[in-house]
Amino acid sequence: MRIVLQRVSEASVDVIDPSTNNVDPTFAKQTIGTGYVLLVGVADTDGQRDIDWLAGKIARLRVFEDAGGHMNESITQHDGEILSISQFTLYGNIRKGNRPSFIAAGEPEHAKRVWLAFNEALRAQGLTVKEGRFGAHMRVSLVNDGPVTLVVDTAEVLGE
């Protein structure tokens, strides 16, 4: 799994109806305050080991400032929320040509299952998780706090 984690002071996501290019009325806008926006990419090789490791790491990650101004506190210490957005383009390869190749991105059925299981694993860590809509055209708005942005790839960390 490949995740871009952004510490935010606020964020939201809307789903866009491709036929009208307007906000899709069947999706309730999801909004969070302090917390993380997670852009989540899934590969076909990703599974429970990746999910468990990432959920635990994100819950314990100390990137919120303490009273002394040092990044020393976790999202749980700040009653933070998570906005999780599926994003297959994180596996885009731009080495050749000018059009990205997404061959490394997970098959949609697998990727959706892993993404949803990951969101549940975050909830099991005691975190409030709001979601975009898998496979949809979305508009994500956020205020990056810091800015703090981290990239995590379980293939690098877990050696897959």
Q: Which residues are catalytic?
A: 87-89
- Please write down the HEC assignment for all residues of 75-144: CHHHCCEEEEEECHHHHCECCCCCCCECCCCCCHHHHHHHHHHHHHHHHHCCCEEEECCCCCEEEEEEEE
- Are 43 and 156 a contacting pair, CB within 8 Å? no
Residue 42 has, within 13 A of its CA and on its CB side, a CA count of: 26
